[in-house]
Amino acid sequence: MKNSSFKNILKNNLSSILCLILLVGFAPTSLYSQDYRYINAYMDDFGKNEMFIKKSLMDYSVTIVETQLASRSKATAGKIVEKLESINANLRNNNKGFENNTLLRDSFIKMNQKTIESLLNGSLILNDYDYQSTLSLAEIGVNFNQKEKDLASYYDEMKSYEKNKKAFGTKYNINFKSSNGKNVLEYNAYQNILFYKINVIDQKLTTVIKARDKKGFTDCLNSITVMHEATMVKTTQYNDNFKDNTLNNANIKYSNFINGQKAKFANLFNEYVDEHNALQVLKNSNASQTNETVANYNKVVRNYNAKKNSFYEVYNTIQSAKKILYDSWFVTNGTFLKNNGEFENIHSKYVVSE
């Protein structure tokens, strides 16, 4: 299902990029070669740019339509990298900080650089279903662990920036407006990881089905069961993070569906493969043809066709239902970000002097 829809894969890719980049926050295009006498004036420029970049990217992420994804997602990532590199170069060359205090500037540059690295090395871009499905389940597990470590490292850098931002503000009696709740983008990223992992294993299942690999099929189903249990644990933990549980519920629903495939077609698949193997034995047999052997061969062919048709009738129905859920998940994801992102124009309340 996912192999046949390049646009759907790019949709996941774009969602990951945007969730990653939205947290970059500031794009200080006006903090160049200026000597600020007052801290509020210095921070005023940061606030204006923060609101502009966050709001623009949020609007883009929730309004983009599927027909635009293939042509825009890669270009978007490239433009973002170019913009961040330009910002960092200008800050290094021209921004003197406030009263020669460059803590905020330096931390911001470091955060931007982390984002650039994450985009260039692809560590946090979740669109590699095809590649992952060529690997062993053990290798896939290693890659899952690495992606989760990369994600945690990325958000640790964001938290480090926020800590330095708070320290900078404390020095100059500045309070920054911030949400009291969970970081919506970090929460969204971890929900994306859950969805990604489910889909990777399901794509691996599709690969072994095509190969009529009974052992691989059983191993994948077992992995899906383990993944489902882990997803249930995580979504239970996330249940109280936001009043809006639509994305959490979407992951539960999708994971339940993927896990439920076993009961619907496991026996049908194994019977189909058994009949296929039996037919291959007869085809490769050197036994002389008799009325009895011909009748037996025809019987095995009929059995094979019946088992194959029975399996694919159920399998194809499931694939169609899965695609509906898969597409629906992205609608839920975008709506969740739009409803919970809090990227309204709050510049007038960005900082408060004590």
d(CA 304, CA 275): 5
Report pLDDT digits (tens) over 97-147.
Answer: 888 898 988 988 898 888 888 877 767 667 778 888 899 999 999 999 988
Report pLDDT digits (tens) over 144-196.
Answer: 998 899 888 988 988 898 888 889 888 988 877 665 556 787 888 899 999 99
d(CA 108, CA 118): 16
Report pLDDT digits (tens) over 272-295.
Answer: 999 999 999 999 988 888 899 899
Tell me the average pLDDT across 41-65: 60
> Is the torsion defined by CA of 120, 122, 125, 130 positive or negative?
positive
Q: 106 — phi, psi (to 5°)?
A: -65, -40
Residues paired with residue 98 on neighbouring β-strands, in sequence order: 101
Full-model pTM: 0.82
